[in-house]
Amino acid sequence: MAASPWNGGHGLKPSSSGYGSMCGLVGLFLPRHAQPVDADLTAMLRVIAHRGPDGTGTHVSADRRFQGGFTRLAIIDLATSDQPLVEDGGSRVFLGNGEIYNYRELRAELRDKGHVFHTQGDMEVGLKAYVQYGRDFVHRLNGMYGLALYERDAHRLLLVRDRLGIKPLYWARLEGGGILFASEIKSLFTSGLVEPRVDESRLSTWLLHGYVPAPDTLYAGVGKLPPGHWLSVAADGAVTVERYWRPRAAADLPRDAAAAKAHLLGLLEDSVRLQLHSDVPLGILLSGGIDSGLVTALAARHSATPLHTYTVRFAGAPVDESPLARAVAGRYGTRHTQFELGMDDVCAHLPALAWHCDEPLFDASLLPNHLINAVLGRDIRVVLNGSGGDELFAGYGRYFPLAAERRWLALPTALRAALRPLIGAAAPLRAWQLERAELLERDPGAYLADHTTQFPAPLRRRLGRGEAVTAAHSAAFAAFAGPRQSGMLAADLETYLPEDLMLLLDRTTMAASVEGRVPFLDHRLVEAALALPPELRTPGGRQKGLEREMAAELLPAEVLNAPKQGFASPVPAWFAGDLGRLSRRVLTGARSRRRGWFDPAGIDALLADPVGHAFRLYALTMLELTVRTHVEGRFTAPPALEELVDD
């Protein structure tokens, strides 16, 4: 690697190719006792080239016991922020996927302490912060990131994932003790060192959650660094995974309602301000809801030129929020673009979704988001959206007991006990719903999981996966000290948000070489929102009641008073057409049946009502396509449907 003309071989030297900062990293660390092996860095980077089409860089230590690579989407400091960042001839090597939003403030602080900077980018600030503060540097970072730091003299590796899990980081321990890591699982599989294999013991937890919760993945031997954790590897190969942050209530939220609203709005505005910084075209995805509307309103205060906003309409969709989005855009004078998309050829898109996601995801909004970001990628490189608002301000119905649940819980305990077996014999799913109601008091975390699952316990048993599964939400809820509603929000912030929403955001934006930013997930705002008393957050039991009050002077009345809609993929309509036929072919084919993962009678029962079970069949189809893509096919680019469906 050529020496930089300005570091004299002793300072900081970015890699000699690429442009640094965003958006995919890979690497290998070998303990001192491990037998030498090489990772195919070129192949690992090639399969995540979509994450960073603006260049790549690598660094291999002299003893080859650290090997790192980076592929970059240029967002900030386009000229000098190459990665990996290599300090003092390799004494430290730093890789950073994501953004450190407060890097300018941190740079000033570190410069006052004597640090010299050679780039204008954010990741050099992260490296210098580590040099100054050690592992406590993570508490000074405000951003979304997956970081890797190698220190040659101590021969140790540190991996860090951001507090909310906005950016991913995966790892695998090799037989000889080495550690392989990457921003996407497919890079591990193309390294030449990890064999893809499904861990069948995790299928039941996947059915319950719609994903395999961290620290696991669907694949044997492949781990997912949980949000708010770091992983350290010592010279002897000892691995330690520790939590450095979890969702908690801030101690400094004003008690007065008006002051609390002003405080929260101020934190959101500061988050928006930080996240507006970009050296490439930036826009806002404006859905027509309160969350993205607030982001737009606050961003307008900090933009010297009109903002670029974007709204999508899906042809034939029952929900159309574009008029609401236009009202917000008009109020703030944005350069607004509305585009219409169709989802006619759904089946043709599924292989690309399976390839990009690596693991199967229940969430059928994956496809519309994939299509939206593909269009945005033609125009911009950074997009802000309103994700996280529902988890902070109680925007989902599952945070409130249903009317039927309240009626059931009002019955005497003895009467409920007598009715339960009778109902169970006649209507197993109905009995399960009533049992779910009782979880609200006994295990609110499990109550959340049961409200989001596509496969309730009776259906899991019908599929031959009847083993007991502990909901990841339960431990997350138990760890939170505070009111039940706040604990339920914290549980979703640790599970559903990173495992579903943030994975979906990362994969669909990165597939289009777009960086997705989420101002509501600034950790300062998260902690402040969790400190709200439920009666203030949702006055009168109204979802997002406080947030509506916060937005009252900023958004049009029709936006404030509109019911929560969101975009629901028309999966039942898909299954009335080609997707129904594809699903039957895939799920009853020889390859699927040979696996023996599910009872064929259970699959046939679902297929007997493809419209009624559309979301379940979609999930199972995506599981099968994912396995055919990453385990059996090992495709290094999105395959064609014909390459996956040959039985």
Structure token digits, residue 451: 């409200």
Closest among 103, 118, 227 to 165, alpha carbons compared: 227
Structure token digits, residue 330: 């008009």
Assess whether 357 carries a catalytic annotation: no
CA distances 116 to 90, 125, 243, 525, Å, are 17, 10, 31, 32
Q: Is 25 exposed, middle or buried (0-12, 13-18, 19+ CB in 10 A)?
A: buried
Per DSSP, the residues of 91-154 read TEEEEEEEEETTHHHHHHHHHHTT---S-SSSHHHHHHHHHHHGGGGGGG--EEEEEEEEETTT
Q: 23, 276, 295, 510: which one is catalytic?
A: 23
Q: Give the number of other Cβ atoms within 10 Å of residue 245's Cβ.
A: 17
| Paired residues of 232 in beta bridges | 158, 240
8 Å CB contact between 147 and 93: no
Q: Is 481 exposed, middle or buried (0-12, 13-18, 19+ CB in 10 A)?
A: exposed
8 Å CB contact between 226 and 211: no
Structure token digits, residue 269: 């505005």
Q: Give the number of other Cβ atoms within 10 Å of residue 354's Cβ.
A: 28
Structure token digits, residue 294: 């607030």
CA distance 61 to 69: 12
Q: Is 364 exposed, middle or buried (0-12, 13-18, 19+ CB in 10 A)?
A: buried
**3-class DSSP assignment, residue 326:** helix
8 Å CB contact between 180 and 39: yes
CA distance 611 to 583: 12
Q: Give the number of other Cβ atoms within 10 Å of residue 234's Cβ.
A: 14
Q: Give the number of other Cβ atoms within 10 Å of residue 604's Cβ.
A: 12
What single letter denotes the amino acid at residue 41?
L
Chain centre to alpha carbon of residue 335: 29
- Which helix (H) or strand (E) covers residue 331, if one does? helix 322-331
8 Å CB contact between 146 and 183: yes
Which residues contact residue 320 at a Cβ distance below 8 angstroms, ignoring those fewer than 6 apart? 313
Burial 397-426 (b: 16+ CB within 10 A, else e): ebbbbeeebeebeeeeeeebeeeeeebbee
**Residues belonging to the active site:** 23
